[in-house]
């Protein structure tokens, strides 16, 4: 019987795990669960004889691929797959997929949770500010960005978006102002929400020039990846502009240097954007179904490697 490993250092909710296991069982496959593992070797051991793996931000590198002798498919239950060595997987003919859109609402809601938190001084009792009538720039208009736009409108914000890979018409049809360049958008918007993936092209592209062009009260919210930020620029922004604020779902490497900017800097203790019962269920079950469709019918929809 083929085996599907659910390897999640940050576990899914219990009902989500149950639902994933039920889907796997119903399809006639066996599930193996590895949660909160303490070392990579534990992961290697669990992966040794499985045909498929469901992961979250768990790292699937050359070592995992080498250890997983029977591996045919890895599905990242979520959006970003920068934690998977695609080249190493392709070399072995292993299919890698993500589950686009399945956890987007959870991430988009957290954007506003963090913005309101910052705007109200971390709920310290001082007089805060509101989001209504303020401009928000959405950097990348994918699944999460689109929901951020929708929620921002509910808050009465003026919504802008920049995404070189999305047609202008799609953005404008949503009643969102299209921005040709990131620079233009940052220079207009007090609030910017990041939704770009981490890759060679985006690495450290959010730099001092872009951030410093933001108007008074400049507030950056990052639920994407820490790698897209040029951290020396982030530190410089805090040092040079006492109006600058940064909220993030992914602690930066320079977190110790930012800790002193209480009220202006906020990071969730763990990456929590996709950590809701609904997102766990949607992404986890989608991952299981994609694996079954691939193993049963060779369906490669959502494959991200060649």
Q: Which of 65, 271, 285, 305 binds ligand 3PG (CB under 6 A)?
A: 271
d(CA 134, CA 86): 40
* Rounded least distance, CB 238 to ligand 3PG, Å: 24
User: Which residue in the shown chain puts its C-beta closest to ligand 3PG?
Assistant: 78
* Rounded least distance, CB 262 to ligand 3PG, Å: 26
* Rounded least distance, CB 279 to ligand 3PG, Å: 8
Using N-to-C axis directions, what is the helix angle for 277-297 and 104-119, rounded to 10°? 160
Residue with tokens 């509910």: 154
In the chain, which residue ranges form alpha helices assigned H by DSSP? 14-26, 40-47, 62-67, 86-91, 104-119, 143-154, 168-173, 182-188, 208-212, 231-240, 255-258, 277-297
Closest alpha carbon to 291 in 108, 63, 26, 75: 75
Give, as ranges, the residues between 37 and 96 that touch ligand 3PG (CB under 6 A).
Answer: 56-57, 78-80
* Rounded least distance, CB 6 to ligand 3PG, Å: 12
CB atoms within 10 A of CB 167: 11
Give, as ranges, the residues between 1 and 30 that touch ligand 3PG (CB under 6 A).
Answer: 10
* Rounded least distance, CB 60 to ligand 3PG, Å: 13
Q: Is 162 in the site for ligand 3PG (CB under 6 A)?
A: no
Q: Is 103 in the site for ligand 3PG (CB under 6 A)?
A: yes
Q: Is 195 in the site for ligand 3PG (CB under 6 A)?
A: no
d(CA 37, CA 122): 33
Eight-class DSSP state of 12: P
Q: Please identify, among the stretches 67-75, 120-128, 227-235, 268-276, the one whose residues bind ligand 3PG according to the rule CB under 6 A.
A: 268-276
Q: Is 101 in the site for ligand 3PG (CB under 6 A)?
A: no
List contacts with ligand 3PG (CB under 6 A).
10, 56-57, 78-80, 103, 271, 273-275
């Amino acid at each position: 019987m083929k085996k599907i490993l659910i390897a999640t250092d940050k576990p899914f909710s219990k009902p989500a795990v149950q639902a994933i296991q039920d889907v796997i069982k119903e399809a006639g496959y066996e599930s193996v669960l590895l949660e909160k593992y303490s070392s990579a070797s534990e992961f290697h051991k669990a992966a040794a004889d499985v045909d498929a793996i469901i992961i979250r931000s768990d790292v699937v590198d050359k070592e995992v691929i080498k250890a997983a002798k029977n591996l045919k498919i890895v599905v990242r239950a979520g959006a970003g797959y920068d934690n998977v060595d695609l080249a190493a997987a392709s070399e072995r003919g292993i299919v890698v997929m993500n589950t686009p859109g399945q956890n987007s609402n959870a991430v988009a809601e957290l954007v506003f949770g963090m913005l309101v938190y910052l705007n109200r001084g971390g709920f310290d009792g001082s007089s805060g500010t509101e989001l209504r009538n303020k401009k928000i720039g959405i950097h990348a208009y994918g699944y999460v960005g689109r929901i951020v736009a929708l929620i921002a409108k509910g808050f009465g914000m003026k919504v802008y978006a920049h995404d070189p890979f999305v047609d202008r018409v799609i953005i404008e049809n949503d009643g969102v102002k299209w921005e040709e360049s990131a620079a233009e958008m940052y220079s207009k918007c007090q609030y910017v929400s990041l939704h770009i993936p981490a890759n060679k092209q985006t690495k450290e592209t959010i730099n001092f020039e872009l951030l410093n062009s933001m108007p008074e009260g400049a507030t950056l919210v990052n639920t994407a990846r820490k790698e897209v930020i040029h951290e020396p620029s982030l530190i410089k922004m805090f040092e040079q502009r006492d109006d600058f604020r940064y909220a993030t779902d992914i602690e930066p490497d320079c977190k110790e240097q930012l800790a002193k900017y209480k009220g202006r800097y906020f990071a969730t203790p763990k990456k929590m954007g996709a950590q809701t019962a609904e997102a766990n269920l949607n992404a986890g079950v989608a991952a299981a179904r994609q694996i079954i469709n691939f193993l049963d019918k060779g369906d490669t929809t959502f494959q991200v490697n060649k």
